[in-house]
Amino acid sequence: MKAPVLKILLACLLLPFVVTNLPAETPGVQLELSLGSGGLKSSLLDLYRSRERFPASGEISSVKDVNPVTIYEPSFQYLFLWKGWRARASLSGEVYESPPNDQSKRAAVWNPETGLFAAQTEILSNMAAYQGEAALGYEFHNPSSWSFTPFLGFRYRQEDFSYESFALPSGPGVLAFRSYDRRWTSFHMWIRFSYNVGPFAIEIEPGWSLWAPGYMRGQGTSFNYDPATGTSALSEEYHVKTLADIRALEIRFLFPVTVQGTDSEAGPTMDATAFFSFKVEGIHFLARDVQFSYFGDPEAANRALVRDLSVLNSDRHDLRALISFGMRISSQQ
């Protein structure tokens, strides 16, 4: 771990003990519900779709031509507040448009070598992602308008895809099934900056991974029919260790909705706040220790093995962008 990162961690841990002039805070909770929509540029999804969509080309550059996928993300977050400390936990899931954005689908293609038509359609099913976060932070604030809260915690993410394709990676009549899962756990840091403008507020929260090991695993089966040689089959499986470098930025605009108190001065208060947010996240995957095995006839997948190994051994990039709307409900003694 680099020296600047250690200095940031040390400063965040010592600040709560150095600052002593902050006002006392009673316990409270915040619940957040939101729904977001945006786009995902997935390097692993590109790998599978490029294999099926560009059968006549052995060039890895074909991966760049795959369009982003539309995603929808429901999210839930719970935040506990006490004497400046902030403990939060969140769960979110991603639902993907199926089939993904792809305007190049064709019902059939003509193979001049064999004089046959072959299917050229694709189906992407059971595509989803899940994410959980847990973090602890401490809020430092100016009584007038601003505050900032550094958080340290963990984030777990899992992506699952299954893929069926009637395409031409090896000539006419190829039927392929693909599935994979990618998982990683990251030791993460976030810093939330909040600025109040009258009844409104703006929150800016950058976040980055300090250490994020994980793995990528996939398997697939290909069947190829050739009039000259008949039917051949191939089963493939691989496992790749990864190390991810994650950078994210979220900007929120908050608008008060209601404020409700109790008859007793010592009783709890409750208020609701609506928010609009924009979030962008980039992930750089470093692939290490590729383990690959197959059983059957390699001709059933033609360039698929070479293409997979070439891409899996290279570093890959993912990009997610989301626009979300949500509601924050706060209660404090």
Domain ranges of the chain: 3-16+29-332
Q: Assign 164 a pLDDT band (cuts: 50, 70, 90).
A: low
Quote the pLDDT of residue 24: 56
Q: Among 104-113, 153-162, 178-187, 320-329, whose mean pLDDT is lowest?
A: 104-113
At 128, which helix (H) or strand (E)? strand 121-138
Distance CA 156, CA 89 (A): 12
246 class by beta-carbon count within 10 Å (0-12 exposed, 13-18 middle, 19+ buried): buried
Amino acid found at 8? I
Dump pLDDT digits (tens) for 89-112: 999 998 877 544 343 444 455 555
Contact 89, 61 (CB under 8 A): no
Q: Among 59-63, 74-78, 177-181, 189-193, whose mean pLDDT is lowest?
A: 59-63
Q: Assign 302 a pLDDT band (cuts: 50, 70, 90).
A: low
pLDDT tops 90 at residue 169: no
**Highest-confidence range of 8-22, 45-59, 187-201, by mean pLDDT?**
187-201
pTM of the predicted protein model? 0.76
199: DSSP letter: T
Contact 122, 53 (CB under 8 A): yes
Nearest Cα residue to 128 out of 105, 171, 159: 159
Residue 138, strand partner residues? 85
Quote the pLDDT of residue 61: 37
Tell me the percentage of the chain whose pLDDT exceeds 70: 61
Quote the pLDDT of residue 290: 81
Quote the pLDDT of residue 105: 47
Cis check: omega of the bond before 68, within 30 degrees of 0? no
Distance CA 52, CA 43 (A): 15
Which string of b and e fits 34-55 if b means at least 16 CB within 10 Å? bebebebbbbbbbbbbbbbbbb
Task: Determine the topology of domain 3-16+29-332 in CATH.
Answer: Lipocalin (2.40.128)
Nearest Cα residue to 43 out of 18, 60, 59: 60
- Mean local confidence (pLDDT), 48-58: 49
- Estimate to the nearest angstrom the gap between the alpha carbon of 116 and the chain centroid: 41
